[in-house]
Chain A
Amino acid sequence: MKGVAKLSGIIGIGLFLHTIYSVLQHRKYLRLTDQPFEGVPLDIIVECIISLLLFSWGIINSQNLIPIKASTHLAKKSYDSFDNRPNFTTFNNRGKYINEIIKNN
Chain B
Amino acid sequence: MLHPQQMQEQQQQQQNAQNAATIPEHYEMEYIQRNNKTIQLCQIPISILGGGIAGVIGFSGLSGFLFYFFVYIIFCSLFALKEKKNLHLYFPNPRSIWFDSVGGGLMSYILFWTFLYNIIHIY
Known: A19-B56, A51-B53, A55-B49. Is A69-B26 also a contact (CB below 8 A)? yes
| B120 touches A (CB below 8 Å) | yes
Interface of B is mostly: helix
Tell which of A12, A19, A56, A63 touches B74, judged by Cβ atoms closer than 8 Å. Answer: A56
Task: Give the size range of B's interface with the partner.
Answer: 20 to 34
Contact A71 B26, beta carbon cutoff 8 Å: yes
A1-27 CB mask vs B (1 if < 8 Å, else 0) is 000000000001100100110011001
Closest CB of chain A to B92's CB: distance in Å?
7
Q: Min CB distance, A91 to chain B, in Å? A: 29
Known pairs A68-B28, A69-B28, A70-B25; list 12 more (Cβ under 8 Å).
A20-B52, A40-B56, A40-B58, A44-B56, A51-B49, A52-B74, A55-B49, A63-B38, A65-B89, A67-B90, A68-B32, A73-B31
Sample (23) of A-B pairs whose CB atoms are under 8 Å apart: A13-B49, A16-B53, A19-B56, A20-B116, A23-B120, A27-B121, A40-B57, A40-B58, A51-B49, A51-B53, A52-B74, A55-B49, A56-B74, A59-B42, A60-B78, A61-B82, A65-B90, A66-B31, A66-B35, A67-B89, A68-B27, A68-B89, A69-B25
